[in-house]
Structure 1
């Protein structure tokens, strides 16, 4: 059971994120527009972008030096890093007491790593993509996480 205080619900995937705020236990959830984030045009890779290439040791072949990551995965990682930075900054300003995270498994793993500084405030996590849930159902599912 949570003590009183402000609870932030971070709902994210690799391209969008938003925060719903419950100022005190049992209060309505608010969705401030300034805490809704989306991957920006600057973060999207250009279709002509490619990872660096290298020649094979033997023969005329070449291969990508991308360490097995695609450019889509890299832009999602960059976006989730930006989301985590906003949450850590909000924690430094003492804007929330509790944090609940809902994100697909890959995104949740990245967020866990980047939110290590606020680990003591995380009260619940779920490896589900709830971003496209209808508003009433989303509110219900988020509040179920705290029961």
Structure 2
């Protein structure tokens, strides 16, 4: 493990995302909202969200959003020479995100956390990233 590896932390919930950068392992996290400038939420307005059969529409919108996010992650990895990726998302969104990642990016995933943490503080996310690294090393 290289201590000066730069890691991209992807925090998503299927509708929203945050991208953070960690320039060395267990170093501080830096929010990078500018890296999400053209990743937009996806909505399916065919059915109101309170109607039960709209689950399919929400699932399609979530998959489309996470596919766009995965493409953005791949572009950022190449542009900024990022070494590793850690994924943080609720279980279903995490699965969709993993499916959408290219093989090259998937090989750089060094840990994950299956929880909704889009609104978490930087201090909480630093603990989550540390735990994800520790869990994948065990």
Between the aligned partners of 1:127 and 1:90, the Cα distance in structure 2 is 22
Between the aligned partners of 1:29 and 1:134, the Cα distance in structure 2 is 10
2:22 is matched with 22
Alpha carbons of structure 1 residues 135 and 28: separation in structure 2 relative to 1, 3 Å? closer
- Give CA deviations for 1:81-134 in whole Å, capped at 9, x if unaligned: 110000111223353101000111111111111113212111001211121223
Between the aligned partners of 2:20 and 2:78, the Cα distance in structure 1 is 18
Aligned pairs (5 A) from 1:28-107: 28-36=28-36, 39-40=40-41, 43-46=42-45, 49=46, 70-107=56-93
Between the aligned partners of 1:114 and 1:88, the Cα distance in structure 2 is 10
Moved more, 87-96 or 120-129: 87-96
Between the aligned partners of 1:34 and 1:112, the Cα distance in structure 2 is 23
Report the aligned-residue RMSD: 2.3
Between the aligned partners of 2:40 and 2:78, the Cα distance in structure 1 is 24
| TM-score, L = length of structure 2 | 0.79
Larger Rg: 1
- Give CA deviations for 1:32-85 in whole Å, capped at 9, x if unaligned: 121347743xx3222xx26xxxxxxxxxxxxxxx9x962111111111111000
User: When you count helix as a share of all residues, which structure comes out higher?
Assistant: 2
Is residue 13–residue 93 contact of structure 2 (8 Å, CA) maintained in 1? yes
* Paired residue secondary structure (2:73): helix
Count of residues in correspondence between the two structures: 126
1:63 is matched with none
5+ residue gaps, structure 2, are: 48-52
